[in-house]
Structure 1
């Protein structure tokens, strides 16, 4: 029972991060997706490529093969290219589909199994938690870069600054 609650909760958390990233990506054009802040941090495009490679590697044949697939070329995920917005959105969705489909097919008994990532053993719960730490880190980068690009044109993805009291009153019905 508690395992099913965990699996449902994890799926919901991942869907929340998918939505935050998608809303940010959709607001930007291709040039903005490839823009890099000073100091050469990753562009949103590179973060998308990295998450795509990571998710496909980790979640394809999750229970039966090492999470670092031999056909993954992680270093290439951080090389700029001229991918279109459409291509980036396709990669974004493909990675998420792989992750979410795999997790939705897990059963309670699977949580006690051992999987490997770079030959290191992990319980299935630990592998999921590892991904749940990795993905929000990068989604936060995507959102932050989007805010930097759009500046005053940014529309909040949650409760806008200064609106917490109004939001809380509306949620509780105390107007």
Structure 2
């Protein structure tokens, strides 16, 4: 099961890096941009992701993953106003998740924990988070790509460069 945890941590690190690569391509005001009142800015998405990770992974083996202290609705309000606040919140959530993952023993993987009073194996709770994070990181990247326009630097294989990429990979 160490291989599973190593793999999960690697996946989460890649999602975190995608978000950060997006932030680095944007102006400060882009992080706060909303298409309309019903849409989330990148800052709001970060607030929600951090709130979710903090709730799910703080004392996760002994307390329900939906903490009484969490106010999910406020995660969708415009609270973050600067890049520095955004990065602090982003890192707070990810640090909580990585600390929790790094603390898990093989015996812990067999345990049952609760999220909103619903039982989950620790593996299932990890997999649940593993689907939640990329969902929102994808939103962050999509918004970033729209706002950067022609100045966007691809975070994967640039359009029209698949053959070059594959040739380089297979010629190693």
TM-score range, shorter chain: over 0.9
Once the two structures are superposed, the pairs formed by residues 12-27 of structure 1 within 5 Å of their partners are: 12-27=10-25
> Which of 120, 131, 134 is the matching residue for 1:133?
131
What's the CA shift for 1:78?
0.4
Q: Aligned equivalents of 1:161 and 1:11: distance in 2?
A: 28
Shift of 1:40: 2.6
Secondary structure, aligned partner of 2:107? helix
Q: Please name the residue that 1:62 is paired with.
A: 60
Q: Secondary structure at the match of 2:153?
A: coil
Residue ranges of structure 2 left out of the alignment (5+ in a row) = none
Alignment match of 2:156 (pick from 133, 145, 158): 158
Structure 2 equivalent of residue 102 of structure 1: 100
Q: 2:146 aligns with which of 145, 148, 160?
A: 148
**Distance in structure 2 (CA, Å) of the matches to 1:113 and 1:70:** 22
Unmatched 5+ residue regions in structure 1?
none
Q: Report if the CA contact (8 A) 2:80-2:86 is conserved.
A: no
Alignment-derived partner of residue 111 in structure 1: 109
Instruction: Assess if the C-alpha contact under 8 Å between 2:45 and 2:140 holds in 1.
Output: yes
Q: 2: distance between equivalents of 1:82 and 1:126? A: 31
Aligned equivalents of 2:154 and 2:80: distance in 1?
Answer: 28
C-alpha distance in 1, partners of 2:89/2:130? 19
Counterparts of 1:8 and 1:24, CA distance in 2: 25
CA contact 2:43–2:80 (8 Å) conserved in 1 = no
* 3-state SS of 1:19 partner: helix
Measure, in 2, the Cα distance between the counterparts of 1:29 and 1:76.
25
Length-normalised TM-score, structure 2: 0.96
- Output one character per residue of 1:136-175: Cα deviation in whole Å (capped at 9) or x when no partner: 000000000000100111000011011111111111217x
Count of residues in correspondence between the two structures: 172
- 1:171 matched to 2:162: no
List 4+ stretches of structure 1 deviating above 3 A. Answer: none
Q: TM-score, normalised by structure 1?
A: 0.95
Name the counterpart of 2:4. 6
